[in-house]
Each structure stands twice: as structure tokens, then as C-alpha cells.
Structure 1
Amino acid sequence: MVRFFKDWYTRKFSDPHAVTLVVILVTAFLAVYFLSSLLMPVFVAMAIAFLLDLPVNRLTNAGISHSWSVIMVVAAFVGVSLITFLGLMPIVWQQSTNLMQEVPHMVTEGRTYLMTLPEKYPEIVQAEQIEHMIALTNDKLLEWGQVAIEATLNSLSDLVALIIYLILVPIMIFFFLKDKRELLTGFSRFLPKERRMASQVGKEMNQQILNYIRGKLIEILIIGAVSTVTFIFLDLRYSVLLGVLVGLSVLVPYVGATLVTLPVMLVALFQFGVSPEFGYVMLAYGIIQVLDGNLLVPVLFSEAVNLHPVTIIIAVIFFGGMWGFWGVFFAIPLATLVKAVVNAFPNTPLDEEQSVTA
């Protein structure tokens, strides 16, 4: 067994470029894992700057100076972000508050309806089963309410830090874009010269991550806007809130669409009951999900590396458990990174012989 691992280590890490790649990856992973709470604004600024680098380069190629290109792109980004935040957040907050106030009434109506089931279907549903289900639901609602209150208190305590981040992040984005070459040159001085494999993985991931982030943001905007307009057209309550939730649900492939279906269905059910209007809402929502999965995603992510659905779900669970929201958002690029690293290691003659034999 020891000899087996020794031979494997010799085959895979005899190349100093492979050792450099592993050291860089391990160092980056440890830095993000242990310092993410402290350096999260830096990571967010780097991700946004990476996304805005494309329009800066296009403006520069059009004849505008690099400094003015950066100023124009950052100003446009901040302006659009402020307009979206100030225009959308008050509506979402108001509808969220109204929905939370209506939840007890929904629970009461649901309880009343459930208690009628034993009378309608005495051979299938027993009153004791309904009472037990209602008791479990009440316990869960109390538990979720306590979690929501604790989250609200924690968010209030972090409000000052959030305001500081809203000021620091645009400033860091500006300097990351303006001094990109100087920063990369200074960082490369700390890296070994034997970094051919690291450069190979970096070039491969550069375009993949850019395509993913750009495509994911476009998908969120399109699905969120179409869902909101559809819900408004169907006169569904809390249409903006539900539209935002549907748009954000695409962050988590497969799982997000399943989770957001519940609030859409419950709001439509309590508003319209079992009626044609309820069917229209669910039909429209289903059509949006089908078009997203079968038309929009293939168009936006046609240049991305294909990953098996099981791989995507495992990546979402793993990275989301480590880094929360941002881990979920970057789960697919990180899974693609793992795949690129595995593919970067060259096959030795022994490996090729074993693959042919297999």
C-alpha cells in the first residue's frame, strides 16, 4: 500500500509545475476558508471587477483611455445598482412585511380546511392525523419565527459594517480595474517560475468563470423580470417579491426552482383557491421554468464546461456549506476549476497504459 501511494505521488508530483499548482490552490483555499469573514468585501470586489473588466476593455479598444473607461464603467455600475436597490428594495420589503402579517391568517384558513377533511374522507383521513400535523406545523412556525427574529437582530448589528462595505467595495473595484496590470505583476513576483500548469488552468478558468457570471446575472434578470410581469398580469399578490424569489432561485440549480415553487403555489392557492386562476398561475410558472431550463440556459451557457447534474448538486452542497451564499453562487465555477485541475495533470506512460487496459 505504501509503495502504491509512493509510485502515485512520484508520477503525479515529479513535475515542479504540478507542485506549484497544488501549493497555489491549497494556499488560496485556506485563505478563503479561514479569512472569508474578514476579506469577503475584497472577494466581492474582485468578482465584480472581474465581471466589469470586459466592458472596460471594449471601451479601451474603442479609443477611450483606460482611466476614463474605468471611471465610466464603475460609475454606470454604481448608478444602476443604486437605482435598482432604491427602486426595488422598498417594494420587496413592503410586500415581505405584508406577507408575514398575512401568514397567521393563511395558517388559520389552512387549519380550518384540513379539519374538514376527516368529515369528507373518513376512510382515508383521521382527525388525530390532522391534529398531529397541525401541532407539528405550529412547532415549526415557532421555530422559524425565532430564527427570523435572531437573524433580524444580527442583521441590525451588522448594519454599520454593511454601510462601510457599500463604500469600500466600489472603491476597491475602481482600483482593481485601474491598476490591474500593476497588481497582477506585483502578485506574480511571489509565485515560483515553474507555473506552467497554473497558467494553463488560469487561462482555461478565466473565460469559463466570465461566461458563467455574466450568463448567471443575465438569467437572474430575465427570469426575475418575466416572472414579475407575469404575476402582475395574473393579478397575483406579492408579485414583485415572488418574482425576485424566482429570479434568485436560479442561483441554486435544480434545488432553487423546487424550493421557490412552494411560496408561489401557496400564495396563489390562498388568493384564488382551487380555481382556474390558480391553474393559470401555476401553468405560467411552469412554462417559465421549462423555457429557462430548455432555452435560456443552453443559450447563455453554451460555452461553459458541461457538468453532470449530480456533480452540480454536490458542488452546491459542498461549497454552499463552506461559504454560504457566495459558495452557492460560485459552486459551478469552482466545480469547473476542480475539473480543470484534474485535466491539467498530464498522464504518465503508466497512467496511459492503465487507461488503455481498462
Structure 2
Amino acid sequence: MSSKTIAYGILRATAIIIGVLGLLWFLYKIQSVLVYIAFAAVISLMGRPLVLFLKRKLKFNNTLAVVITLIIFIGLLSTVFMLFIPIITEQGQLISEIDINTIKADLTRLNQEINEYFNLERLNIEELIQKTDLIQFLDLKVIPNLINSFISGFGSILMGVFSILFISFFLLKDSLLLENSLLVFAKKEDENKFMRAFTKIKDLLSRYFAGLLLQITILFVLYSIILLIFGVHNAIAVALIAAIFNLIPYIGPLFGGIFVIILTTTSNLGLDFQSVILPKVTYVLIGYLIVQLIDNFLNQPLIFGNSVRSHPLEIFLAILIFGLLFGISGLIVAVPSYTAIKVIAKEFLSEYKIVKKLTKDL
């Protein structure tokens, strides 16, 4: 091999490495735009069935159907936001009326009752508060800083929402826009395979996100019933937050349960632990666990198994692997990402036995 060939190979490899690093740097810099596109793609996948319904059944033109679909999404988001207002208002009122001595007394009494009931070693609440700097956190001087942070971030949030809605409008209006944009990366001879894979992915993910919305709705209704029965403050908003936690597989329900227990306890702070707080928390926890069992053994197998056509063990392993690789965000995107990988593998790697085995139901 001549020295000229070796030099050319080294230069070519160096150019490729620099190009890849440049591409990664560019993607890192525009990560917010990529997030907007991803959210818009999800909205378009979820809204596509409604757009088709409005066009086919109600004879709306394409633009009007898309506008109405986005208005419905905005209405749903506004409703969700409005449910958070009672909790925010209540917490703001509590902060304005806060009395450290009263809180210390309530926590000390609650700690004493818990320790006596469960025969535990007594924990020094005052020492714990000092160690965790809770008094410093509750210092009203931090409130202006929190308000300034909120105001500075509010503009970015508005910009993000506008960008997502704007992109969603065009993705819903032209169902082939995203496919044609991505088609530029495919070779000429692979365009048909690429289009088949993309169409299949869009169909499966549309059903997956519709199923996800159905799951959250069912959980929200069941949580609301339980929390209303036992008189938890702001039951509707708490139920919605707990249901949204389930978007994070496996870990989300745990966080949701902790959130529900904490709010159930704090909403009854000052009452007797043994006769009021403990029974109410126990009943709410039992109800929460029953709902989770219904979700795990009835909702999820029926909704997700049929929507993405994957075995529950496949889904579990995919969630576990993505979670280890990418953390919480990996848990959220595991199922749609794994579904897309399976469809692409079926189109381009169907000659391999393992691919045939995993994609036989697609």
C-alpha cells in the first residue's frame, strides 16, 4: 500500500470524525428545536385520527379539521392547567400564613404519635429541620428569587408552546411532510422500504399514544373517585398529577403514590394520627394499589400489547435498557423508540433470524 493511499485514508477518516463531531455539536446546540419537533410529532400522531374523523365523517376540509383538532388539544391543556390552580393558590396562601413554630409543633406531635404507635425510636424533628436547612428554605427572602426565575422562564415556555403548535399545524395539515423531510437521508433504492417503515411506525405510534391517553384518562377517573371518597383536598388535581406520573413506566406509579400519601397526610395535619390520619392514609393507599393492579394486569396488556404488537417481556426489557442508558427520559421514550427500531429492522434486516422472530407480529 502506497504512502499516498495511507495518507488519503487517514485524511478521510479524520474528515469523517470531524464531520460526526460537528454534527453532534450542531444537534446539541439545537436540542430545544429537536424537542419541539418531537412534541409536535407526538401531537400530530395523536391528532391524526381526529383529523381523519372530522374530514371523513363530518366532511370538514383539511385546514378546518386541523385547526379544530389543535383547538381541542389547547382546550385539554388549558383544562389541565386550570386544575393545578387550586393547589398553587392553596400553597401560596399557606406560605403567606406560615408559622415555623406551629409547623414545628405539628410535626413534633405527629412524629411522637407515629413513634408511639409503631414503637419506634423518637426522631428529633427540630434537629432534622436544622440539618436539612428547612428554615432557610422557608425564609420569605427566597420567594422573590423564585418569582423572578418563574417570570424569566415563562417567556421560554410561551415560545416553546407556540413553536410546538406551529409545527404541529403543518404536520397535521400535510401528513407526508415529515416523511418527505426524512426521505432525503435515504438512498434512492431504499426509498420504498423507508416509506413502508415510516408508514408502519406512524400507524403503530398513533395507536400507542392514543392508548396512552386512554390509560391516563382511566387512571385519572379511578384516582379521582378514591380521593373524593376519602375527602382529600383538591382531589381532582391530585388525581390528575398522579395519573400523569404513570407516563414514566414503573418508577412513575411509585412517585405518584408517594405524592398522594404526602398530600393526604399534610391535608390532615393537626388531627389525631391514630384515629384520623393513619386510617385515611391506609384506605387511600389500598385504593391506589388496587388501581395500579387494574392498570398493570388489565389496562396495559390490552392497550399497549395490541397497539405496539410487542410481548410484555420485550417491553419490560426495552424500558429497562433505555432507562439504564438515558435515565428518566429513556423510560418515557423506550416503548415508541423500540417500536420504531423493530419496524426499521424488519424492513432493512429481515434476513436475520432474530429480527424475523421479534417482528413476526408486525
Q: Give the TM-score normalised by structure 2.
A: 0.70
Count matched residues.
315
Paired residue type of 2:316? P
Counterpart in the other structure of 1:51: 46
Aligned-pair CA distance for 1:138: 4.9
- For residue 312 of structure 1, the aligned residue among 303, 307, 319 is 319
Alignment correspondent of 1:5: none
Counterpart of 2:302 (choices 289, 299, 304) is 299
Tell me how far 1:48 sits from its aligned partner.
0.7
Relative to structure 2, which stretch is displaced further, 162-171 or 215-224?
162-171
Is 2:274 the partner of 1:246? no
1:207-266 CA-partner distances (Å, limit 9, x unpaired): 332222111122222212331232122111242342122111211111111122223223
Alignment RMSD (CA, Å): 4.0
Q: Partner residue of 1:159?
A: 154
Match of 1:263 in 2: 259
CA-CA distance at 1:32 after TM superposition: 5.9
Where 1:337 maps in the other structure, the secondary structure is helix
Matches within 5 A, 1:213-292: 213-270=209-266, 271=268, 273-275=273-275, 276-292=279-295
Higher alpha-carbon deviation: 29-38 or 208-217:
29-38
Given that residues 253 and 313 in structure 1 are in contact (C-alpha distance below 8 angstroms), is that contact kept between their aligned partners in structure 2? no
**Distance (whole Å) between structure 1 residues aligned to residue 254 and residue 246 of structure 2:** 10
SS in structure 2 of the partner of residue 158 of structure 1: helix
Tell me if the contact between 2:245 and 2:256 (Cα under 8 Å) persists in the aligned partners.
yes
Residue 21 of structure 1 corresponds to none
- TM-score (normalised: structure 1): 0.71
Pick 1 or 2: higher relative contact order, CA cutoff 8 A, min separation 6.
Answer: 1
Amino acid at match of 1:333: P
Q: Which one is further off, 267-276 or 28-37?
A: 28-37
Aligned partner of 1:345 among 333, 349, 361? 349
Instruction: Name the counterpart of 2:17.
Output: none
Q: Which region of structure 1 is more displaced relative to structure 2, 287-296 or 87-96? A: 87-96
Deviations 1:149-185 (A, max 9, x none): 7776544312112223333332322222223335543
Counterpart contact for 1:96–1:241, Cα < 8 Å: no
Partner of 2:206: 210
- 3-state SS in 1 of match to 2:189: coil
Aligned-partner Cα distance in 2 for 1:309–1:194 = 35
- Given that 2:36 and 2:164 are in contact with CA atoms closer than 8 Å, whether structure 1 keeps it comes out as yes
| Matched residue type, 2:53 | R
Residue 109 of structure 1, aligned match among 81, 94, 106: 106
Give the gaps of 5 or more residues in structure 1: 1-25, 353-358
- What pairs up with 1:32-71 in 2 under 5 angstroms? 34-62=29-57, 63-71=59-67
Instruction: Extract unaligned runs of 5+ from structure 2.
Output: 1-20, 357-362
Give the structure 1 partner of residue 8 of structure 2.
Answer: none
Say which SS state the counterpart of residue 301 (structure 1) adopts: helix
Structure 2 letter corresponding to 1:161? S
Distance 2:163 2:220 in 1: 28
